[in-house]
Chains A and B, each alone.
Chain A
Amino acid sequence: MSRLPKWLIALLTLALWRRGKAEGSEQEDGDGRIVPEGSADRRAESWVIALLFAAALCAAGFVVVYAADGLGNRTQLFGIALAVCFALIAVALIIVARHLIVTEHLEEDYPEPGGDPEEQEAVAEVIRESGSRFTRKKLLLAAGGTAAGAVSAAAAAPVLSLGPLLDTSRLQETPWHRGRGLVDDSGRALLADDIETETFYTAYPEGATEEEKDQIGAPLVVVRLDPSALRLPPERARWAPGGILAFSKICTHASCAVALYRKPLYAPTEPRPALVCPCHYSTFDPATGGQVIFGPAGRPLPQLPLTVDGGLLRAGGPFSAGVGPGWWGVRRKRSI
């Protein structure tokens, strides 16, 4: 209990002392003001006061929303209350800055270009003479250069993570090889007779581990077209038994999954069948072996030759080209 009066006395003393100091400093300054005196703007002042009170009301509204249970859309009300409150404070501060704080524009000339020659000479001399304790200057310079070079190399090293520079054979590897069966997401084998036109299927390599399924070369998109509608290059004539075509599901532009298949219900008035990537709308024509007919993809969707073995769909060989987005030399090599 005895603490309270002590605190009161301390506060009172502080207040009186500060007041005395303020009066003293005003007397000292006299007419030699730094900032010119501005005229009073009572209107702006009233606006600021009103805005600040309004902001306080909004903040109180926030508390009310917080306290009142059973209000709908509380998150939105919180947001609105806070946003309006801050907006009002911001407007008040803008008015303070523009109408109530005394401002003046002062111009200061840039220093002459070149500066004072004597001063420059002095600086050069300071630098020259500061080096008088060095005896093996060349060795020191070499050591400094080595350190700088090593730091730069360390900074540039992560660039290698962007991909192999010379040995790109790893990028060409896919789980597909001649004779490997096609299965669906749950591991059931795809039967050639079950593949219908008008729809699309996602396929994975038979017996693939989860890790293998995650590889960029693993997923396939399988569609069936009327064999008479196919316009495949001559060397791929036997790649699509019964009109069943398999392509890498990974777009050659930015490696999104080619998850869209558009197929017309009535050919005369509708666009032709196409595989479309949902990311940037690269559009591939399955009938011509995955040629790009629209969009940013730079090369065709790699096709996987198929064979039918006892009714089961199997890969007839590797992909027609490297899967996934472009890299150094992607066009030159075939996948293995």
Chain B
Amino acid sequence: MRARVYTLVALLAASLVLVSLARGQSPVGIVRPASERGLGLRELGSQLFAGNCSTCHGIAGRGVYPPNAQQGTGNVRGLGPPLVGVGAQATDFYLRTGYMPLERADEQPSRHRVLFTEHEIRALVAYVASLHGGPPIPHPVPSAGRLSEGLQVFTQNCAGCHQVVAQGGVVTGAKVPSLTPATTTQIAEAVRIGPYLMPQFSAKQISPRELDSLIAYVKRSQHPDDRGGWGIGNIGPVPEGMVTWLIAAVALVATCMAIGERAKR
């Protein structure tokens, strides 16, 4: 009996040590240089890129196309678009939203925990921007925008997928993300680069002033002045119908059964 207790305690201790070891490691899948100190920003960026991005985006961001797809870091099958000319704008967006790095090359990028540190993100942004220039990180001023204009631009260009309440939804072949966690800069970046299946809107189509208004509207939709009761996701008649049929109808039938009684023969 006593021997058993000792084995149990030993096992517990061993697993605790293992867990603490695992936590001490760097986050899943991220490869880092042995020491980040003493490296210039671009140099650090280039090393991080080589370790974490080049499997899919190729050497110096030249992209990987199907015939050249190979197993790389973490057994990821490399397939990805070239990054030449995408600039700081897209890099900043994909890294700060946690869209990149992807687990599998063919999955839809979605919002995740950010795996790189602030310094590493700045290094990667500097490195990718140095590959062939490209647009810088935008600095929109939503306070200069007009809410009514923002609503109009949003309904015309965005609400088809994101819903007028900016809660997201689906399009055939992909999920449409909710804009609730999006920051001002991220919205401006996404409009210009069109991540995944989203169209991209140039300054000719949505002017910088309209973009300010658009962001003002999206920020407003994140904290609406909503005095109504239960929002149930704010994605229109679908959740309301579900509540009606699943909850209200069951409750009504149950009430009827409680009130009435069948004649027993």
Q: CA of A76 to CA of B229 in the docked complex: distance in angstroms?
A: 6
Judge if A260 is at the interface, Cβ distance under 8 Å: yes
Nearest A residue to B205 by beta-carbon distance?
A: A199
CB distance from A44 to the nearest CB of B (A): 15
In the complex, B12 has a CB within 8 A of chain A: no
Verify if A294 is at the interface (C-beta below 8 Å from B): yes
Stretch of B31-39, B117-125, B135-143, B154-162 with 4 or more beta carbons under 8 angstroms from chain A: B154-162
Please report which residues of chain A, range 182-225, place their CB below 8 angstroms from some CB of chain B when the two chains form the complex.
Answer: 185, 194, 196, 198-202
B172 touches A283 (CB 8 A): yes
Give the contacting residue for B156; candidates A94, A98, A202, A294; CB below 8 A. A202
CB distance from B154 to the nearest CB of A (A): 12
Query: B160: which of A194, A259, A264 is its contact (CB, 8 Å)?
Result: A259
Q: If A75-B229, A199-B202, A271-B174 touch, does A259 touch B197 (CB 8 Å cutoff)?
A: no
A-B contact pairs, 10 of them (CB 8 A): A76-B229, A105-B263, A198-B200, A199-B205, A265-B195, A265-B196, A269-B106, A271-B173, A271-B174, A276-B171
- Is A7 an interface residue, CB under 8 A from the partner? no
Stretch at the interface among B3-11, B41-49, B211-219, B253-261: B253-261
Interchain CA distance A269-B106 in the complex, whole Å: 5
A199 close to B259 (CB less than 8 A): no
Q: Which secondary structure dominates where chain A touches chain B?
A: mixed
Q: How far is the CA of A79 from the CA of B208 in the complex (A)?
A: 45
Nearest CB on A from B203, distance (A)? 11
- How many A residues, CB 8 Å from partner? 36
The verdict on B72 contacting chain A, using a C-beta distance below 8 Å, is no
Let me know if B81 and A259 touch, CB within 8 A: no
Inter-subunit contact A79/B202 (CB<8 Å): no
Known contacts A94-B258, A97-B259, A278-B160; decide if A268 and B172 are in contact (CB<8 Å).
Answer: no
Judge whether A140 is part of the interface by a CB distance below 8 angstroms. Answer: no
Q: Report the separation of the CA atoms of residues A199 and B160 in the bound assembly, to the nearest whole angstrom.
A: 14
Q: Which residues of A contact B205 (CB under 8 A)?
A: 196, 199, 201
List of 5 A-B pairs having minimum Cβ-Cβ separation, nearest first: A259-B160, A271-B173, A266-B81, A262-B197, A269-B106
Chain B nearest CB from A7 CB (Å) reads 41
Docked-complex contact A262 and B255, CB < 8 angstroms = no
Knowing that A199-B205, A269-B105 are A-B contacts, what are 19 other residue pairs whose CB atoms are under 8 Å apart, sorted by A's residue number? A90-B255, A94-B258, A105-B264, A196-B202, A196-B204, A200-B199, A201-B205, A259-B159, A265-B81, A265-B196, A266-B81, A269-B80, A269-B106, A270-B173, A270-B196, A271-B173, A271-B197, A278-B169, A295-B172
Nearest CB in chain A: distance from B3 CB, A: 56
* B172, A281: Cβ atoms closer than 8 Å: yes
A9→B155 CA distance, assembly (Å): 73
CB of A194 within 8 A of CB of B173, answer no
Whether, in the assembled complex, A51 has its beta carbon less than 8 Å from a beta carbon of chain B, the answer is: no
Q: Enumerate A240-284 residues with CB–CB distance to B below 8 Å.
A: 257, 259-266, 268-271, 274, 276, 278, 281, 283
Among A90, A105, A196, A262, contact of B173 (Cβ-Cβ < 8 Å)? A262
The distance in angstroms between the C-alpha atoms of A321 and B204, with both chains bound, is: 32
In the bound complex, CA of A62 to CA of B224 (Å): 27
Q: How far is the CA of A271 from the CA of B169 in the complex (A)?
A: 17
Shortest C-beta distance, B265 to chain A (Å), equals: 8
Instruction: Please name the residue on chain A nearest to B90 by beta carbon.
Output: A265
Interface residues of B (CB under 8 A from A): 65-66, 79-81, 105-106, 156, 159-161, 169-174, 194-202, 204-205, 227-229, 255, 258-259, 261, 263-264
Interface residues of A in 85-109 (CB under 8 A from B): 90, 94, 97-98, 105
- Among candidates B204, B228, B259, residue contacting A194 with C-beta atoms closer than 8 Å: B204
B263 to chain A, nearest CB (A): 5
Q: Within the assembled complex, what's the spacing in Å between the Cα atoms of A264 and B200?
A: 10
Contacting pair B201 A199 (CB below 8 A):
yes
On chain B, the residues within 8 Å of A76 by CB distance are 229
Whose C-beta in chain A lies nearest to the C-beta of B197?
A262
Distance in angstroms between the alpha carbons of A281 and B175 in the assembled complex:
13
**Closest Cβ–Cβ distance, residue B159 to chain A (whole Å):** 7
Q: Which residues of the partner chain B approach A259 to less than 8 Å between Cβ atoms?
A: 159-161
A-side contacts of B161, CB under 8 Å: 259-260, 278
- Asked if A199 contacts B194 (CB within 8 A), the reply is yes
Q: How far is the CB of A249 from chain B (nearest CB, A)?
A: 11
Q: How far is the CA of A88 from the CA of B170 in the complex (A)?
A: 42
Interface centre among A105, A201, A274, A278 (most CB of B within 10 A): A278
**Bound complex: CA of A44 vs CA of B201, how far in Å?**
69
Contacts of A266 in B (CB 8 A): 79-81
What's the least CB distance linking A244 to chain B, in Å? 15
What is the distance, in angstroms, from B217's C-beta to the closest C-beta of chain A?
Answer: 17
User: Are A198 and B194 also in contact (CB < 8 A) when A268-B66, A278-B161 are?
Assistant: yes
For A281, the chain B residues whose CB sits under 8 A away are 170-172
Q: How far is the CB of A301 from chain B (nearest CB, A)?
A: 14
A259 to B255, CA, bound (A): 43
Contacts of A278 on B, CB cut-off 8 Å? Answer: 160-161, 169
Residues of B within 8 A of A75 (CB): 227-229
Whole-angstrom CA separation of A257 from B160 in the bound complex: 9
B57 smallest CB distance to A (angstroms): 10
A98/B197 in contact, CB under 8 A: no
Structural contact, B258 and A260, CB atoms closer than 8 A: no
The CA-CA distance from A266 to B228 in the complex, in Å, is 42
- Residues of A with C-beta under 8 A to B229: 75-76, 79
Shortest Cβ distance from B261 into A: residue:
A98
